[in-house]
Amino acid sequence: MSTGDMPNRPVFRRVAIVGLGLIGGSLALAIREHGLAGTVVGTDRRDDETLWARDHGVIDEMAFSAADAVKEADLVVVAVPVRATRDVLEAVRPALSDHAVLTDVGSTKGSFIQAVQAVFGEWPERVIPGHPIAGSEKSGIRAAHGDLFDRHKIILTPPDSVAPEALDQLTRLWEGCGARVLTMSVDRHDEVLAATSHLPHLIAFSLVDTLAGEDDNLDIFRYAAGGFRDFTRIAASDPIMWHDIFLSNREAVLNMIDHFTADLGQLRQAIESQDGERLLQVFSRARAAREHFSKMLSGQAYVNTEQQNQVTFRLQPGGAAQGDIRVPGDKSMSHRSIMLGALAEGTTEVTGFLEGEDSLATLQAFRDMGVTIEGPDQGFVRIHGVGLHGLQPPHGPLYLGNSGTAMRLFAGLLAGQRFDTELTGDASLSRRPMNRVADPLRQMGAVIETGEGGKPPLRLRGGQTLTGFHYDMPVASAQVKSCLLLAGLYANGDTSVAEPAPTRDHTERMLNGFGYPVTRDGNTARLSGGGRLTGGPIDVPSDISSAAFFLVAASVAPGADLRLQHVGINPTRTGVITILREMGADITLENEREIGGEPVADLRVRYAPLRGIRIPEDQVPLAIDEFPVLFIAAACAEGTTLLTGAEELRVKESDRIQVMADGLAAIGVDSTVTDDGIEIPGGQALRGGTVDSHGDHRVAMAFAVASLRAEGEITITDCANVATSFPGFDRLAQEVGIRLTVEACE
Ligand code: NAP
């Protein structure tokens, strides 16, 4: 029991429960245990059961007829099988007081309302149907327990004319039992339950019955594996109750059976014609949908950044940086490969895919719009593109987890579709501003509603005609630029976006890679609507931000010689190479080529003594994520390194400059933090010590690199997030010779 320790004030004076089975008995116990009523009186069809309930403390008082039980009660709960409801209502009606609230717990709601109307001639304002989404295969009072509803949902389906204080009281009663109360219409309830509860029970009953009818049934059941037992657990439920439910929710259940039978027929057909591709599509879509629903229902991000485990990195001094490695794929390109692959004609096979928040959220959203996507499996994804106009209306809102990038890009992409869409996300995404994309999209003719204060959810009205326009971005943003260019695919005429400072241009490049021309003229990117995208293979280049740790590692470790394969060297991202070269690093680009519109090369890095420099301010935005590890390079250099114009670093995952300065101090390196940067005198000894990364993955990895020049052991705490941004960092670090061990505890 969760709330049982907290005494409640009674919500009702006298509660009468008619039907002391599993649900009625459990509710009586919960109400008593939580002190939610002055008195609980109960009655059952069988007197011996009523007596048992009184003797075992389930109820305070007993009655031997429904009419006796409800006299003077201010809440009456009908807890009998749904088809017995009408008789019970007939019996209680003459004794029911005018101010009593009447509710039930039946699994179907349309039938309850029919019974109410038959008995009362109307739907009184104090009759509020209810259905706890809690229970078990066992029935009867002996299976009842007071915490059955704890942390479960209860659906109430009140009439439009409901008496507000009655609804409020009933809500408080259920909440007092630990349940979460939802309200919906009677029809919606019956449809939803037909799909999520009634159909699965029907299938379970039917499957067990089919197998039980086989000649060798004993053998079949003897060898039944765990899967069969799990799947058919609900076939142990009470036959009478379920017979009632199917007959009471006839229409909604028939619809679901027809729908399911048609889908099952298609699977049968696929097996008969040996259509493995079709089977794979259905199974992978189903598996992904199941994972998606669990995330969505708990309002979670796709990637868990708040890992439960405490992870500590321990690094021994010395170590080496030697070998030939490939670091994980670029996040932005992985994300865009899904988007453009889905909108392309033909199949797009992606390798080196990084499963980040943005790409996983986007992948699911396209599945919801009818695109078949296989994987991800070890970095491989196959997208069966539907073309720019082939998306299907989703059945509900598109849930984008924690991904702001996905929400802004989808706003552009969906503004020009023929159907309506709604974009939602987890609690933190729901606080992020969306007007910076909604406003310019409206100028193109999009109809978009936002939540309060320009925040999600975003509702996009379909069937609008978009017109291309020119937009001067007030603040440089790759997301806004990408959003408008994607809307431009669906607009009449040209769409162009000018940026006040260079931002990442992965969207433009990848559009070109998919055969959709985007031109650049100075600071302006431009495209014309009405073209088409063509799918093809994409080997996602390694992320230069991840490669940066190894670029610095090999630059500072005497004797190092390291090759990093297939790294993306998009000029909007290569600030780290420019800065390191200016410090004297020996980095050469080999085997330069183009993948999906992006320049790629193998990077060879050899040890070279570094010198301190004043970092050119124009390089700062091009290396913004790489500064933590560049500070380590600065600490290992001769002479002072000065960083200015990097205010943004103070508001990243942590105040990166301060956290890095504290970490440097912890291993014996002095530095001076300024408002917009830092000054690091080089040539100091890195003594070793304990560094708190404050959960910032880049800080953690940067200090792992520092161990190559440290005199003593370095311990780095709070490193769990490394696994999300750079899966396999520990393994690769060990492979090149960094002396890292990982300690995890619950
Ligand atoms: P249960 O344990 O079998 O209890 C049903 C109770 O109703 C028993 O006390 C039974 O009396 C009484 N009853 C049966 N037929 C009656 C009739 N014709 N007239 C008067 N009383 C009658 O069933 P339950 O699981 O508590 O289910 C009760 C209601 O809750 C049902 O409407 C069901 O749809 C709903 N519900 C059940 C679950 C679940 O998982 N079990 C979950 C949510 C909602 P006896 O003592 O004579 O049998």
The pLDDT-based confidence of 308 (bands split at 50, 70, 90) is: low
Q: Distance between CA atoms of 695 and 267, rounded to whole angstroms?
A: 47
- Percent of the chain at pLDDT > 90 equals 76
Q: Nearest 5°: CA angle at 719, between 716 and 721?
A: 160
How close is the Cα of 501 to the center of ligand 1, in Å?
A: 69
CB 67 near ligand 1, within 6 Å: no
pLDDT at res. 216:
75
pLDDT tens digits for 593-603?
A: 998 788 999 99
* Ligand 1 atom nearest residue 244's Cα: 34
Closest Cα to atom 42, ligand 1: which residue?
A: 135
Question: What does the block give as tokens for 611?
Answer: 């010198």
Length of the chain: 746
DSSP state of 638: B
Task: Find, among 409, 424, 416, the residue nearest to 442 by Cα.
Answer: 416
Least confident window among 178-187, 299-308, 693-702: 299-308
Please give the average per-residue pLDDT across 195-211, as a whole number.
Answer: 93
For 504-562, the three-class secondary structure string (H helix, E strand, C coil) is CCHHHHHHHHCCCCCEEECCEEEEECCCCCECCCEECCECHHHHHHHHHHHHHCCCCEE
Q: Between the CA atoms of 362, 368, 370 and 373, what dihedral angle is there, to the nearest 10 degrees? A: 50
Count of helices and strands (H, E) across the chain: 26, 32
Rounded to the nearest whole angstrom, what is the distance from the C-alpha of residue 24 to the centroid of ligand 1?
A: 8
Pocket test for ligand 1, best of 27, 80, 238, 245 (most atoms within 8 A of CB): 80
> Of the given ranges (10-14, 225-229, 693-697, 709-713), which has the lowest mean pLDDT?
225-229
> Which band of pLDDT confidence, cut at 50, 70 and 90, is reported for residue 654?
low
Identify which of 50, 107, 193, 240 to mutate to test ligand 1's pocket (most ligand atoms within 8 A of the CB). 107
CA of 137 to the centre of ligand 1 (A): 12
The count of other CB atoms within 10 Å of the CB of residue 160 is 7
Which of 255-264, 426-435, 596-605 has the least mean pLDDT? 426-435
- Residue with the smallest CA separation from ligand 1 atom 22 is 80
Provide the pLDDT confidence category of residue 8 given band limits of 50, 70 and 90.
low
**Residue to substitute in 18, 22, 145, 148 for testing ligand 1 pocket (most ligand atoms within 8 angstroms of CB):** 22
| Interval 169-183 mean pLDDT | 95
110-124, 186-200, 255-269, 281-295: least confidently modelled range: 281-295
576-586: average pLDDT: 97
For the question of residue 68 being annotated catalytic, the response is: no
The Cβ of residue 218 has, within 10 Å, a number of other Cβ atoms equal to: 10
**Between these two residues, 307 and 712, which has the higher pLDDT value?**
712
Averaged pLDDT of the chain = 92
Atom 39 of ligand 1: nearest residue by CA position: 135
In whole angstroms, give the CA distance from residue 230 to residue 227: 5
In which band, very low, low, confident or very high, does the pLDDT at 627 lie, cut at 50, 70 and 90?
very high
323 Cα to the center of ligand 1, angstroms: 70
Mean pLDDT of 194-211: 93
Compute the distance between CA of residue 547 and CA of residue 575 in angstroms, rounded to an integer: 13
Q: What is d(CA 716, CA 628) in angstroms, rounded to the nearest whole number?
A: 14
Segment 704-713 shows an average pLDDT of: 97
Residue 3 has pLDDT above 50, yes or no: no
CA angle, 103 as apex, 246 and 27 as ends, to 5°? 90
The side-by-side arrangement of strands in the sheet containing 398-399 is: 398-399, 421-424, 458-461, 447-449
Q: Peptide bond preceding 457: is omega within 30 degrees of 0, i.e. cis?
A: yes
Q: Is the pLDDT of residue 642 over 60?
A: yes
**Which residue of the set 625, 692, 718, 730 is catalytic?**
625
Q: Is the shortest distance between the CB of 143 and ligand 1 below 6 Å?
A: no
**What's the average model confidence in pLDDT over 187-212?**
93
- The predicted pLDDT at position 692 comes to 95
pLDDT value at residue 651: 66
In angstroms, what CA-CA distances link 82 with 113, 115, 253, 254, 521?
A: 11, 10, 15, 18, 71
Measure 80 CA to ligand 1 centroid, in angstroms.
4
**Does residue 475 have a pLDDT over 60?**
yes
pLDDT at position 653, please?
58
Distances (CA, A) of 463 to 55, 416, 445, 493: 66, 7, 11, 17
Q: Is 452 exposed, middle or buried (0-12, 13-18, 19+ CB in 10 A)?
A: exposed
Contact 605, 550 (CB under 8 A): yes
Distance CA 251, CA 234 (A): 22
The residues, ordered by sequence, that sit 6+ positions from 439 with a Cβ below 8 Å of its Cβ are none
Average pLDDT over residues 487-496: 98
Write the single-letter amino acid at 149.
F
Mean pLDDT of 440-468: 96
Assess whether pLDDT exceeds 80 at residue 55: yes
- C-alpha distance from residue 386 to each of 220, 341, 347, 390 (Å): 44, 9, 9, 5
Q: Are strands 322-325 and 380-386 parallel, antiparallel or unpaired?
A: unpaired
> What is the longest distance spanned by two Cα atoms in the chain?
96
pTM higher than 0.95 for the full model? no
Using a 6 Å cutoff on CB, does residue 463 contact ligand 1? Answer: no
Q: For a substitution probing ligand 1, which of 27, 45, 49, 62 has the most ligand atoms within 8 Å of its CB? A: 45
* Ligand 1 site, residue 179, Cβ cutoff 6 A: no
Instruction: Please state the φ and ψ torsions of residue 144, each to the nearest 5 degrees.
Output: -70, 145
Q: What distance in Å separates the CA atoms of residue 314 and residue 349, rounded to the nearest whole number?
A: 39
Interior angle at CA 405, CA 435 and CA 526, nearest 5: 75
Choose one of 241, 243, 247, 248 to mutate for the ligand 1 pocket test, by most ligand atoms within 8 angstroms of C-beta. 241
Residue 35 near residue 178 (C-beta atoms within 8 A): no
Kindly give the distance from the C-alpha atom of residue 253 to the centroid of ligand 1, in angstroms, as a whole number: 21
Question: Using a 6 Å cutoff on CB, does residue 23 contact ligand 1?
Answer: yes
**Ligand 1 proximity of 58 Cβ (cutoff 6 Å):** no
User: What's residue 278's pLDDT?
Assistant: 85
- The bridge status of strand 470-472 relative to strand 519-521 is unpaired
Q: Is 50 in the pocket of ligand 1 (CB under 6 A)?
A: no
644 touches ligand 1 (CB under 6 Å): no
Q: Is residue 652 over pLDDT 70?
A: no
* Whole-angstrom Cα Rg for the chain: 32
The neighbouring-strand residues paired with 383 are 348, 373
> What is residue 442's DSSP assignment?
H
Contact assessment for residue 428 and residue 306, using Cβ atoms and an 8 Å cutoff: no
The answer to whether residue 290 scores a pLDDT higher than 50 is yes
Task: Confirm or reject: Cβ of 46 under 6 Å from ligand 1.
Answer: yes
Whole-number pLDDT of residue 660: 95
Q: Ligand 1 center to residue 648 CA distance, Å?
A: 63
Closest CA to 677 of 649, 712, 719: 649
CB-based burial label for 377 (10 Å; 0-12, 13-18, 19+): exposed
Res 705 pLDDT > 70: yes
- List, for residues 11-40, the tens digit of each pLDDT value: 999 999 999 999 999 999 999 999 999 999
Q: Between 277 and 477, whose confidence is greater? A: 477
Atom number of ligand 1 nearest to Cα 132: 43
Q: How far is the CA of 228 from the centre of ligand 1 (A)?
A: 28
Closest approach atom of ligand 1 to CA 141: 2
CA of 84 to the centre of ligand 1 (A): 9
Residue 277: the pLDDT is 82
Nearest protein Cα to ligand 1, atom 35? 106
Could you tell me the distance, in angstroms and rounded to a whole number, from the CA of residue 51 to the centre of ligand 1? 17
pLDDT, one tens digit per residue, over 334-382 is 999 999 999 999 999 999 999 888 888 899 899 989 898 888 888 899 9
Q: Is the CB of 135 under 6 A from ligand 1?
A: yes
How far, in Å, from the CA of 58 to the mean position of ligand 1? 16
Task: Report the atom number in ligand 1 closest to the C-alpha of 139.
Answer: 2
DSSP 198: I
Q: Is 49 in the pocket of ligand 1 (CB under 6 A)?
A: yes
**Res. 459 pLDDT band, cuts 50 70 90:** very high
Higher pLDDT, 295 or 684: 684
For 90-94, 120-124, 208-212, 631-635, which range has the lowest pLDDT when averaged over its residues?
Answer: 208-212
Atom of ligand 1 nearest to the CA of 83: 18
DSSP letter at 614 equals B
Reported as type and span, the H/E element at residue 296 is helix 276-297
pLDDT at 539 over 60: yes
Is the CB of residue 38 less than 8 Å from the CB of residue 10?
Answer: yes
* pLDDT for 284 beyond 70: yes
Once rounded to an integer, what is the mean pLDDT over residues 449-474?
A: 95
